[in-house]
């Protein structure tokens, strides 16, 4: 096709995407159709992938298909395996897409549909996709080195140490906040708790099958697990309604938190083949299947979004996450727009599979665009709900009141009409006793998904779809809890091994148990405090997680910027430098507000002081009185953690600026640690099959 | 005319086996003289895969 015609097609796609986005932004009717969002997202991702990513790959990274990747050069058949680009894409997408792009956009729907949509699209194409692709390129050029190793090699030991400690703390917060999401989804839900509990014996059964009965038959084992899980989801309804069995699976938040903590510890010390790996296989299939099903259902059903474009909560008074649109939108939606954690995957397994540098764009940029699309789908599912219902599910009892009547009256007074009868009917239709104050995002997402699925495939199975959605979310959240605890244990052993060498031995049983217990205690503490927090916990933990994740993204972009400058491409340093600067400033401002804002719902210190005042005045009673000292301590600990994150971030940025400046001025800097060029033509040709 | 869908299904099946890891042992055995049996290979693959950051949030 002539170049002119090709360019014309891309111009048409770009204009189409921009027109759809313009339509979304300017629309002021009562509802808006979901197809506008799908069309805008496709148009923008396609043009950004073709033009912006293409330009970065050619001009900034100077990706060279003739340069042999580590998969081709080392090709040991285990870690380094030249793999077809679509298979690498599948691996990478399955690794980066977790609960984050589902939960963040659901919580951010409190601002209306517009801010979240704009940030998901622009944040991804300018920030998140660029970060993932450039870090993947940098790691591929360095034989698959990790982010921490690249920080140490390119910026020096100070930055390397900051990256290591920062990553460890992020792991703690990620596991805690994901644990909180799953606890809030199971709280007083016998059906949900039974289904989620059954994932453990099912995973163990599949683990035994894949190890001893049919070793390595991953597809067979996963299909058996999938069938059993669907049976467990159906069986959950029967258990929940049974007068004897139902109460056995009815727990409050603190009891469930202790169970998740205990589970996390045992899962971490069990052999990988028994629980973690089979659960991951099953959850990956369900995750991808459910996302495809949701996309299909949205296209078939074309639901109307009932949430307004903007709500009054852009002013910072939001009941779901406290704080104004800027900066809190940008830390509420991390995964789906920009997620620093992805840099750990892009500089880990994936670069060891890349067969050619021409695959970097599809795997790095394309996978993140796909995850951003998952975020858009989650936002659609949340905004399909009546706003009154959305706020009733996602607002904590501490804000709207503990009874159906007071909660619905408060939400109605905000201009989002909802009745106690409607909430009760909805809960009954979903097979639950109540949907009130089910904070954390998972239940409202499940209600939204259930309504979309039921609309597309039949209205009779609402309760089943709801619990299928809860099971789907809980399954991969618990996989992340298992996997996060295991990786956190390795990181802790790596650190503590410097103090006492035997603790660093990852093969020895004793140190593994001690470090697993220490790591589980760390995230377990934040989880438990989150559960007993009268404001729902998510109000504190999610922003802290968002700050830490965006801090990691800014750090990854700082490393990438340094490498671009040291490659002699300082003129293009803005490609990673601009998103880094935006994230650094936004995260620092958010951290400042979390520390010093006088509103007790926003500022950690103000929150601690306000609670201390109530305690001194004797105005607390019951559970609030019991938990107050812990909550006061925790708010101050969170403040300390926030300060630490910001110090780590700015250490990295100052090091980036120092090294880049020295390089530009011709002074000595750590040498580029790129592996030497080897021509592809000098190596035996690979088959292109994937080994993983 | 029938070759299209059949070819598509064959390709989809191959991709599914590769992405899921179902074909890992065949790839290993085709590459080298297999030193490990299926079970030992499966266990060593899991140990290798789960020793680093493998899943995101």
Sign of the alpha-carbon torsion through B1, B6, B9, B13: negative
The count of structural domains within chain A is 1
Chain A CB contacts of B19 under 8 Å are 87, 90-91, 94, 690
**pLDDT tens for each residue of A368-423:** 999 999 999 999 999 999 999 999 999 998 899 989 999 999 999 999 999 999 99
Residue A692 has pLDDT above 50, yes or no: no
pLDDT at A475: 87
- pLDDT tier, A147 (very low <50, low <70, confident <90, very high otherwise): very high
Q: What are phi and psi of A605, to 5 degrees?
A: -70, -40
Interface ipTM: 0.92
Residue B33 has pLDDT above 90, yes or no: no
pLDDT at A149: 92
Overall size of chain B counted in residues: 57
SS3 content of chain B, % helix, strand, coil (to 5): 65, 0, 35
Please tell me which of the candidates A87, A174, A345 has its beta carbon nearest to residue B18: A87
pLDDT at B3: 65
pLDDT at A358: 96
Q: Is the peptide bond before A327 cis (omega within 30 degrees of 0)?
A: yes
pLDDT at A686: 63
Q: Which range of residues forms the domain containing residue A45?
A: 3-188+251-664
Residue A73 has pLDDT above 60, yes or no: yes
Contact A231, A461 (CB under 8 A): no
CA distance A626 to A167: 33
**pLDDT tens for each residue of A620-634:** 888 889 899 999 999
- pLDDT tier, B55 (very low <50, low <70, confident <90, very high otherwise): confident
In this structure, of A102-106, A268-272, A413-417, A608-612, the range with the lowest mean pLDDT score is A268-272
Whose tokens are 């401002």? That residue is: A589
Chain A CB contacts of B50 under 8 Å are 272, 276-277, 483, 486
Residue A689 has pLDDT above 60, yes or no: no
H, E, C per residue of A374-407: HHHHHHHHHHHCCHHHHHHHHCCHHHHCCCHHHH
How much of chain A, in percent, has pLDDT values that exceed 70? 99
- For residue A489, what are the CA distances in angstroms to A168, A260, A387, A403, A483? 9, 17, 42, 42, 10
**pLDDT tens for each residue of A324-350:** 999 999 999 999 999 999 999 999 889
Contact A642, A595 (CB under 8 A): yes
In a domain, A337, yes or no: yes
Of the two residues A250 and B27, the one the predictor is more confident about is A250
The two most distant CA atoms of chain A are separated, in Å, by: 79
In a domain, A112, yes or no: yes
Average pLDDT of the residues of chain A: 93
Chain B CB contacts of A335 under 8 Å are 56-57
Select from A88, A351, A549, A691 the residue whose CB has the most chain B CBs within 10 Å, as the one to mutate to test that interface: A691
Q: Average of pLDDT values for A363-367?
A: 97
Residue A691 has pLDDT above 50, yes or no: no
Contact A194, A249 (CB under 8 A): yes
**Nearest CA distance, B12 vs chain A (angstrom):** 11
In a domain, A625, yes or no: yes
CA distance A341 to A331: 13
Residue A22 has pLDDT above 50, yes or no: yes
CA distance A640 to A177: 18
Q: What's the token pair of residue A343? A: 């840099």
In a domain, A670, yes or no: no
**pLDDT tens for each residue of A576-598:** 999 999 999 999 999 999 999 99
- pLDDT tier, A125 (very low <50, low <70, confident <90, very high otherwise): very high
Residue A436 has pLDDT above 80, yes or no: yes
- pLDDT tier, A637 (very low <50, low <70, confident <90, very high otherwise): very high
In a domain, A480, yes or no: yes
Q: What's the token pair of residue A47? A: 């043009």
**pLDDT tens for each residue of A667-686:** 999 999 999 999 999 987 76
pLDDT at A198: 96
Chain B CB contacts of A225 under 8 Å are none
Q: Do A349 and B39 touch (CB under 8 A)?
A: no
DSSP A29-78: SS-EETHHHHHHHHHHHHHIIIIIIHHIIIIIS---TTBPPHHHHT--SS
Which of B54, B28, B31 shows the shortest CA–CA distance to B39? B28
Q: Average of pLDDT values for A541-559?
A: 94
Q: Could you tell me if residue A530 is left (phi over 0), alpha (psi between -120 and 50 degrees) or otherwise beta?
A: alpha
pLDDT at A213: 96
CA distance A681 to A454: 55
**pLDDT tens for each residue of A490-514:** 889 888 888 888 888 888 889 999 9
- Model-wide pTM > 0.90: yes
Chain B CB contacts of A345 under 8 Å are 53-54, 56
- pLDDT tier, A10 (very low <50, low <70, confident <90, very high otherwise): confident
Residue A66 has pLDDT above 50, yes or no: yes
Q: What angle do CA A469, A291, A310 make, to 5 degrees?
A: 85
Residue B29's closest chain A neighbor by CA? A77
What CATH number has the domain bearing residue A174? 1.20.1740.10
In a domain, A328, yes or no: yes
- What b-and-e string marks burial along A95-127, b requiring 16 or more CB atoms within 10 Å of the CB? bbbbbbbbbbbbbbbbbbbbbbbbbbbbbbbbb
Q: Is B49 on the interface with A (CB under 8 A)?
A: yes
Residue A335: DSSP 8-state:
T
Contact A499, A128 (CB under 8 A): no
Q: What's the token pair of residue A607? A: 């929150």
Contact B23, B17 (CB under 8 A): yes
In a domain, A689, yes or no: no
Q: Do B55 and A506 touch (CB under 8 A)?
A: no
- For residue B37, what are the CA distances in angstroms to A111, A207, A215, B29, B54? 56, 17, 9, 9, 25
Q: Average of pLDDT values for A260-278?
A: 92
Residue A123 has pLDDT above 50, yes or no: yes
Residue A687 has pLDDT above 70, yes or no: no
- For residue A422, what are the CA distances in angstroms to A253, A405, A429, A617? 25, 11, 10, 39
In a domain, A122, yes or no: yes
Of the two residues B3 and B1, the one the predictor is more confident about is B3
**pLDDT tens for each residue of A598-625:** 999 999 999 999 999 999 999 988 888 9
Residue A202 has pLDDT above 60, yes or no: yes
């Amino acid at each position: 096709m002539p170049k002119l015609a090709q360019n014309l097609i891309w111009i048409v796609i770009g204009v189409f995407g921009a027109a759809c986005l313009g339509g979304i932004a300017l629309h002021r009717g009562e509802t808006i159709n979901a197809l506008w969002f799908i069309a805008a997202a496709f148009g923008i991702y396609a043009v950004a992938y073709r033009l912006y990513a293409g330009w970065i790959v050619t001009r900034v990274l100077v990706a060279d298909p003739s340069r042999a990747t580590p998969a081709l050069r080392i090709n040991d058949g285990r870690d380094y395996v030249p793999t077809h680009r679509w298979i690498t894409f599948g691996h990478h997408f399955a690794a980066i897409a977790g609960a984050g792009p589902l939960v963040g956009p659901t919580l951010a729907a409190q601002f209306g549909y517009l801010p979240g949509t704009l940030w998901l699209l622009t944040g991804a194409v300018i920030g998140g996709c660029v970060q993932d692709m450039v870090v993947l390129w940098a790691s591929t050029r360095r034989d698959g080195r990790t982010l921490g190793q690249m920080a140490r090699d390119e910026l020096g030991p100070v930055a390397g140490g900051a990256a290591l400690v920062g990553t460890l703390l992020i792991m703690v917060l990620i596991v805690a906040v994901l644990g909180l999401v799953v606890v809030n989804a199971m709280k007083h839900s016998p059906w949900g708790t039974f289904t989620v509990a059954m994932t453990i014996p099912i995973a163990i059964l599949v683990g035994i099958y894949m190890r001893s009965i049919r070793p390595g038959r991953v597809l067979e084992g996963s299909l058996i697990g999938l069938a059993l899980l669907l049976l467990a989801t159906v069986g959950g309804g029967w258990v929940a309604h049974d007068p004897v069995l139902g109460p056995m699976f009815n727990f409050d938040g603190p009891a469930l938190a202790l169970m998740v903590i205990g589970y996390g510890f045992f899962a971490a010390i069990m052999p990988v083949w028994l629980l973690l790996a089979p659960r991951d296989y099953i959850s990956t299939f369900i995750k991808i299947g459910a996302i495809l099903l949701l996309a299909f259902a949205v296209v078939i059903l074309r639901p109307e979004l009932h949430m307004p474009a903007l709500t009054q909560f852009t002013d910072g008074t939001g009941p779901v996450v406290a704080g104004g649109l800027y900066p809190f939108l940008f830390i509420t939606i991390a995964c789906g727009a920009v997620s620093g954690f992805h840099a750990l995957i892009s500089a880990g397994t994936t670069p060891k599979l890349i067969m050619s540098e021409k695959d970097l764009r599809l795997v790095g940029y394309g996978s993140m665009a796909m995850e951003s699309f998952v975020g858009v789908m989650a936002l659609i599912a949340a905004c399909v709900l009546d706003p009154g219902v959305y706020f009733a599910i996602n607002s904590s009892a501490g804000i709207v009141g503990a009874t159906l009547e007071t909660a619905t009256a408060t939400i109605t007074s905000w201009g989002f009409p909802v009745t106690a009868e409607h909430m009760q009917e909805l809960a009954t239709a979903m097979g639950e006793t109540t949907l009130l104050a089910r904070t954390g995002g998972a239940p409202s997402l499940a209600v939204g998904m259930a309504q979309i699925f039921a609309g597309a495939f039949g209205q009779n199975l609402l309760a089943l779809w709801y619990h299928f959605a809860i099971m789907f979310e809980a399954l991969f959240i618990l996989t992340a809890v298992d996997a996060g605890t295991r990786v956190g244990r390795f990181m802790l052993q790596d650190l503590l091994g410097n103090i006492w060498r035997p603790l660093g031995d990852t093969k020895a049983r004793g140190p593994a148990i001690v470090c697993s217990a220490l790591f589980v205690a760390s995230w377990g503490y934040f989880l438990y405090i989150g559960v007993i927090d009268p404001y729902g916990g998510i109000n504190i933990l999610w922003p802290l997680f968002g700050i830490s994740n965006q801090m990691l993204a800014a750090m990854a972009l700082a490393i990438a910027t340094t490498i671009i400058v040291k490659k002699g491409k300082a003129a293009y340093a803005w490609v990673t430098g601009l998103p880094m600067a935006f994230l650094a400033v936004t995260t620092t401002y958010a951290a400042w507000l979390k520390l010093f804002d006088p509103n007790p719902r926003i500022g950690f210190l103000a929150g601690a002081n306000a609670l201390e005042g109530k305690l001194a005045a004797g105005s607390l009673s019951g559970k609030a009185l019991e938990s107050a000292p812990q909550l006061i301590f925790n708010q101050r600990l969170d403040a300390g953690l926030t300060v630490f994150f910001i110090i780590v971030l700015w250490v990295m940025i100052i090091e980036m600026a120092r090294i880049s400046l020295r390089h530009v001025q011709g002074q000595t800097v750590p040498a580029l640690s790129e592996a030497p060029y080897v021509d592809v033509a000098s190596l035996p040709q690979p088959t292109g099959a994937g080994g993983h | 005319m029938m070759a299209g869908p059949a070819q598509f299904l064959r390709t989809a099946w191959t991709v599914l086996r590769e992405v899921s890891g179902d074909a890992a042992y065949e790839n290993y055995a085709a590459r080298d003289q297999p030193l490990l049996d299926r079970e030992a290979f499966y266990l060593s693959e899991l140990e290798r895969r789960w020793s680093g950051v493998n899943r995101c949030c």
